[in-house]
Amino acid sequence: MVSRVLLLATKDTIAYAHRDGRPVVLSGADLLALLPQEQLVADVTVEDVTAEPSWDMSPATMLALARRVRSAILDEGFDGVVVTHGTDTIEETAFLTDLLAGPAASRGGIVFTGAMRRPDELSPDGPRNLASAIAAATDPRLRQMGTVVCVNDELHASRWVTKVDATGVAAFSSAPFPAIGRVVAGRVETLGTAPPRPPEPLGEPESDVALIKTYPGIDATLLTAVVDAGARGVVLEGTGMANVPVSLFTAISDLTEWGIPVVIASRCRTRDVPLQEVRSGTDGLAAGVGAIGAGGLAAAKARIALMVALGAGDAEGARQWFSKL
């Protein structure tokens, strides 16, 4: 039986082209028409989604996409969903979709893709990425992998992948983890083990979570300023083993007491960094004033995770949910 795939087309570089010297935005159907029909291995239903460019995509749009993916698989029985998305924040929306997918992750393939080159540039990567993404979404092995990003013939776990190059087609990396698969001649080859499944989301995610990059000499009022502006949670990007300046400790302690969870990630690409562990005198001290370790998640992913964690309803629930991630 031919697999049924839903294509959610959110435009962006994969769809921005010129016709007769004028800029046009290709629809999902236009994108499919660029593929050699014999390579279309599924019965594809298209939904065009009105979305901001991904570098400006609102949490509301990200959440709407994540929910649409879940319902397409659980309620409408699609075998897989492919989302075309701008590459700047594809990793955030893909990870949010993964965290909210629940049982959909084991019933269908969920694949995000995009392009570094527009369709009218020399050697565009979008059509190939789209064909590979559709092929991957129909592969039963994807059902063990959670949400993946398919670019440049590679499959990356949404939890690990990061855009690391602003212009090249090899723009994504999961380092220090491997890509978990690749697509060769329209077939999926698995290369590594996918990350463990996240805990089930507990409630409606919170959309107002701030992310602050720290640096030696940072003024602690930056933390209280984002909370005054409405943030319900704060992610700090620290250095090395997720260290932040001691000048922030009082603010971290205050925010934690006020029920605003503070998560600390590292600016380094890293595997799990246990914040609680005191390694060399002062490292990891922020845990002592209430901070939550991001557990190896990059700061942008920790922000997405904290949005979902806050669905638990309170700071303690968010901490517990985060600890199972």
Nearer to ligand ASP, 88 or 283 (CB): 88
Residue 86: CB minimum distance to ligand ASP, A: 2
| % helix, strand, coil for the chain, step of 5 | 35, 20, 45
Q: Is the peptide bond before 216 cis (omega within 30 degrees of 0)?
A: no
DSSP 194: P
* Cα–Cα dist 130/146, whole Å: 18
Residue 152: CB minimum distance to ligand ASP, A: 13
Nearer to ligand ASP, 53 or 178 (CB): 53
Pair 273, 298: CB distance under 8 Å = no
Residue 18: CB minimum distance to ligand ASP, A: 15
Nearer to ligand ASP, 83 or 273 (CB): 83
Q: Which residues bind ligand ASP (CB under 6 A)?
A: 12-13, 53-55, 86-88, 114
* Cα–Cα dist 53/89, whole Å: 9
Minimal CB distance to ligand ASP: which residue? Answer: 86
> Which amino acid does the sequence have at 252?
I
Nearer to ligand ASP, 114 or 205 (CB): 114
Residue 27: CB minimum distance to ligand ASP, A: 16
Nearer to ligand ASP, 55 or 215 (CB): 55
Nearer to ligand ASP, 55 or 258 (CB): 55
109-113: strand order across its sheet: 42-48, 3-9, 80-84, 109-113, 148-151, 154-157, 181-184, 187-190
Residue 11: CB minimum distance to ligand ASP, A: 8
Residue 92: CB minimum distance to ligand ASP, A: 11
Pair 100, 307: CB distance under 8 Å = no
